[in-house]
Amino acid sequence: MNSLGPESRAIIDEALPGEGLEAPRRAHLKRELMARIAAGAVAGGAALATTKAAAATQVAKGGLVSLFLTSMAQGGAVMAVVIGAGVGYRAVTEPAAAPAPSVALSVAITPTASAIVRPAAPRAVEEPVSVIASSAPAAPVAPTASMEAAAPASSSISGEMELLRQAQRALASGDGSRALELLGEHEASYAGGALREERQAARILALCKAGRGAEARAEAARFVAEFPRSPHRGHVLGACANE
């Protein structure tokens, strides 16, 4: 078999260091991915999703997204949550570290918005999330290559997703106070967790449900300042409209 000539080899070797995913982009994609997985987990046993549309449809059929939206008493945008999670980053091609909230946006929210708008905090996705349910693997684990090294944080992700789902169920059943309780627990356990954005969005909806509209609006303003491209933005801003 022939092999590649030296000039071709050199072209390849030169390109390798310039490829790859910048860290902020990787972190952003991971956060979106976790949100999609959290949404999809409820649908359970979904078949292989090969397209975004298929994935979104599956989730919408059985999943948290429909619960989420039912709770807001305004259907229609079922796809937006899931699809939005996939395209949110596309609008900005360069990895924006701390996107500035747009003026138009802050004006559109409420009169209080301009006072509250603040620079977006750096996202804490890469931080190890704290472990509460230290569910050690039951089966004996053979030491597998390099997988063991980064182990400590990962068991918390399913716990994080589960707690958020419980809160969303409470929200769907109209129990805003219970949802707030669970979300408080979530915040205490997973302050810098992967689903912070989803938690905040759920909290705003729960505040509306619990009749705390003023707080909800204030938090909504902070939310859009911190997550200007969030797929939940529309829902958050309209959260109290029907309460």
Partner 1 sequence: MGAPATLTERPAVREAPPRFEDVYDKHADMVWRSLRRLGLDEASADDALQEVFMVVHRRLDEFEGRSSLQTWLFGILLFVARNQKRSRRRKPTDTGAEAADALAQVRADERAMPDAEADRARAVKILYALLDELSDEQREVFVMAELEQMKGTEIAAATGVNLNTVYARLNAARHQFEQGVARMRARQARSAP
- Cβ partners under 8 Å of residue 95, min gap 6: 22, 24, 25, 28
Q: Among the candidate windows 36-44, 100-108, 218-226, 232-240, which touches partner 1 by CB under 8 A?
A: 36-44
Among 76, 97, 146, 242, binds partner 1 (CB under 8 A): 146
The conformation of residue 176, written as its DSSP 8-state character, comes to: H
Of the pair 97, 104, the CB lying nearest partner 1 is at: 97
Sequence-distant contacts of 150-153: CB under 8 A, at least 24 apart: 152/128, 153/128, 153/129
Count of other CB atoms within 10 angstroms of residue 216: 24
Residue among 170, 160, 159, 166 nearest 206 (CA):
170
Q: Does 76 bind partner 1 (CB under 8 A)?
A: no
CB of 2 to partner 1, least distance (A): 6
Q: Does 136 bind partner 1 (CB under 8 A)?
A: no
Among 37, 79, 80, 124, binds partner 1 (CB under 8 A): 37
Among 24, 52, 215, 238, binds partner 1 (CB under 8 A): 52
Q: Does 160 bind partner 1 (CB under 8 A)?
A: no
Question: CA 205, CA 153: separation in Å to the nearest integer?
Answer: 29
The conformation of residue 138, written as its DSSP 8-state character, comes to: S
Footprint of partner 1 (CB under 8 A): 1-5, 7-8, 11-12, 14-21, 25-26, 29-30, 32-33, 36-37, 40, 46, 48-52, 55, 86-87, 89-90, 93, 137, 139-142, 144, 146-147, 150-151, 153-155, 157
